[in-house]
């Protein structure tokens, strides 16, 4: 029976491989690791580390090259914060420090970098309490300054209309960026809260104080615009190579007659009118470095069709990388519109790889990829991510490549010959080599640095253990800076 299933899977993979687009050399391949679902409650440090290490190992096999790690879900911290209390999602009680004084964010950064992955710290900016949190720590911001928060449907929200709240969140973000070697700061879709029918959001006091004659809707949007604009500027000053990205709800604005702003052929909650998140304005003005809309629906959904939405977003990139938020479980739940015998992954990836402006995707959620429903993780590993990928370039941050690796040598090692090299010299941090890409010729002697099929690994080490069949092959080594600008190659023939 197992042999029969293996043969079927092999045939499917062969069919998909023949139709799949070539793997691009540069592509964002992320996965979200969330805390807010309580998946670590009751775990101690050792078990949590073991669980996360296993997930990261599997994600690495599946070609994931970036992790969005949730570190601030409700004005709390899954890191050693100097400002906010430890998260209850880590220890079970807000404000209670974890055992053995371990720092999950620092650990995650080290683990990601060891596996050739970026680590982006994921925060929820304005949510201060979820529905199921019943006790706030004494040093929680809402316990210290309750007048700055608004209760809404069981939540507590930092009032976005108060400048002191925005300044406070900036300080939290800068603290993370300055103290941790993160590659990016990431925000999801929680700006103003998702509206509940018949339940008003009571920000009348801050509107009366700061509205300046604007309509309530425009004032709320301007509050979020101000937050995004100022935070982008602050982060760029604090750590220029730290990417700043958002993951908005999948619908920007529903199309309607007479509307003066772009809208999609959809029907549902929208960023512009409901969450007061004017994402297109942020892209136009360069206030975010990447856009990662959560297009979680299936192809053919009546209210929010995946294909309509991915085509819509691809038209409005404004020269910023567009990554697609993919829902693993919903993708494998629904049949492909072209072949009812399989799920929708093939068609979704065909759209992602062929539409203009799209530079990758992010999987919701990491554990779902690891659990491999519908062979989703297997297909990433063997088809869509079968070769490694560098990160998309962001030339508006930095476009200068580092120098080449130096002093390449081959030494004997316990596990076999080891190729080592020295980092290129650099005068400033933005020019420093942080990563290295290694390419290898195929069995016919072909080697093309522009083709992803020859890229075998991306590492932060200045060494590489050569495989037993290395003799006769040519290797190329390039240096990559923080933004993964790539140096010229150094050739090594064995």
pLDDT digits (tens, 9 = 90+) for 246-298: 999 999 999 987 778 999 999 999 999 999 999 999 999 999 999 999 999 99
Instruction: Please state at what angle helix 45-61 crosses helix 104-114, rounded to 10 degrees.
Output: 30
Domains of the chain: 22-384 (3.20.20.80), 406-493 (2.60.40.10)
Confirm if 330 and 297 have CB atoms less than 8 A apart. Answer: yes
Q: Classify 192 as helix, strand or coil.
A: coil
Using DSSP bridges, classify how beta strands 243-246 and 290-291 pair: parallel, antiparallel or unpaired: parallel
User: In Å, how far from its chain's centre is CA 323?
Assistant: 9
Strand partners, 380: none
| Residue 81 exposure: Cα atoms within 13 Å on the Cβ side | 24
Largest CA distance in the chain: 75
CA angle at 192 for the pair 190 and 198, rounded to the nearest 5°? 120
Reported as a single tens digit per residue, the pLDDT across 410-445 is 988 888 899 999 999 999 999 999 999 999 999 999
pLDDT at 303 over 70: yes
- Could you tell me the two tokens for 420? 């080592």
- At residue 3 the predicted structure's pLDDT band, cuts being 50, 70 and 90, is very low
For 125, residues 6+ apart whose C-beta sits below 8 A from its C-beta are: 158, 169, 187, 190, 191, 227
- Could you tell me the two tokens for 140? 């929680």
Q: So what's the pLDDT on residue 21?
A: 52
Q: Per DSSP, which regions of 22-179 are E strands?
A: 28-33, 66-72, 118-123, 127-129, 149-152, 155-158
Q: So what's the pLDDT on residue 494?
A: 87
pLDDT at 15 over 70: no
| Helix then strand then coil, % of the chain, to nearest 5 | 35, 20, 45
Q: So what's the pLDDT on residue 432?
A: 98
Start-end of H helices in 40-161: 45-61, 88-91, 104-114, 141-144
Strand partners, 23: none
- At residue 8 the predicted structure's pLDDT band, cuts being 50, 70 and 90, is very low
Matching residue, tokens 């994921």: 122
Q: So what's the pLDDT on residue 13?
A: 55
Reported as a single tens digit per residue, the pLDDT across 102-161 is 999 999 999 999 999 999 999 999 999 999 999 999 999 999 999 999 999 999 999 999
Average predicted confidence (pLDDT) for the chain: 95
Reported as a single tens digit per residue, the pLDDT across 200-253 is 999 999 999 999 999 999 999 999 999 999 999 999 999 999 999 999 999 999
Q: So what's the pLDDT on residue 18?
A: 45
- Could you tell me the two tokens for 22? 């070539």
pLDDT at 2 over 60: no
Matching residue, tokens 């402006």: 357
pLDDT at 23 over 70: yes
Q: So what's the pLDDT on residue 16?
A: 52
- Counting residues of the chain whose pLDDT is more than 90, the rounded percentage is 92
């Amino acid at each position: 029976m197992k042999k029969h299933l293996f043969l079927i899977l092999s045939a499917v993979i062969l069919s998909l491989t023949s139709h799949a687009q070539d793997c691009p050399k540069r592509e964002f391949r992320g996965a979200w690791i969330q805390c807010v679902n309580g998946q670590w409650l009751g775990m101690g440090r050792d078990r949590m580390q073991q669980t996360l290490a296993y997930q990261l190992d599997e994600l690495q096999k599946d070609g994931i090259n970036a992790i969005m790690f949730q570190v601030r879900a409700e004005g709390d911290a899954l890191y050693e914060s100097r400002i906010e209390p430890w998260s209850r999602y880590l220890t079970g009680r807000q404000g209670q420090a974890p055992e053995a004084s371990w720092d999950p964010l620092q650990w995650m950064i080290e683990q990601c970098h060891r596996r050739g992955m970026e680590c982006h710290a994921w925060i929820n900016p304005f949510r201060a309490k979820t529905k199921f949190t019943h006790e706030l720590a004494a040093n929680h911001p809402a316990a210290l300054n309750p007048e700055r928060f608004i209760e809404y449907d069981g939540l507590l929200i930092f009032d976005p209309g108060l400048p002191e709240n925005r300044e406070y969140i900036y300080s939290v973000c800068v603290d993370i960026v300055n103290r941790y070697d993160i590659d990016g700061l990431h925000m999801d879709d929680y700006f103003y809260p998702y509206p509940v029918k018949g339940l008003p959001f009571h920000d009348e006091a801050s509107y009366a104080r700061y509205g300046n004659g604007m309509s309530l809707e425009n004032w709320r949007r301007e509050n979020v615009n101000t937050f995004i604009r100022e935070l982008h500027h602050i982060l760029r000053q604090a750590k220029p190579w730290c990417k700043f990205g958002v993951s908005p709800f999948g619908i920007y604005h529903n199309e309607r007659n007479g509307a003066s702003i772009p809208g999609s052929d959809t029907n549902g909650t929208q960023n512009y009118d409901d969450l007061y998140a004017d994402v297109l304005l942020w892209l136009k003005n360069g206030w975010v470095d990447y856009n990662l809309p959560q297009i979680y629906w299936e192809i053919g959904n009546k209210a929010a069709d995946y294909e309509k939405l991915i085509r819509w977003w691809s038209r409005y990139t404004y020269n910023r990388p567009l990554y697609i938020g993919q829902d693993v479980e919903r993708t494998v739940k629904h049949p492909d519109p072209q072949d009812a015998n399989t799920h929708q992954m093939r068609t979704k990836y065909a759209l992602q790889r062929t539409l203009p402006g799209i530079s990758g995707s992010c999987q919701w959620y990491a554990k779902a990829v690891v659990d491999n429903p519908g062979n989703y993780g297997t297909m990433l590993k063997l088809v869509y991510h079968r070769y490694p990928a560098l990160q998309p370039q962001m030339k508006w941050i930095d476009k200068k490549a580092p120098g080449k690796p130096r002093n390449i040598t081959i030494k004997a090692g316990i596990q076999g010959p080891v190729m080592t090299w020295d980092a290129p010299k650099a005068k400033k941090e933005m020019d420093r080599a942080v990563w290295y890409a290694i390419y290898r010729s195929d069995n016919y002697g072909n080697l093309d640095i522009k083709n992803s099929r020859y890229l075998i690994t991306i590492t932060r080490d200045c060494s590489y253990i050569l495989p037993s069949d290395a003799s006769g092959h040519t290797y190329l080594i390039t240096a990559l800076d923080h933004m993964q600008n790539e140096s010229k190659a150094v050739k090594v023939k064995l």
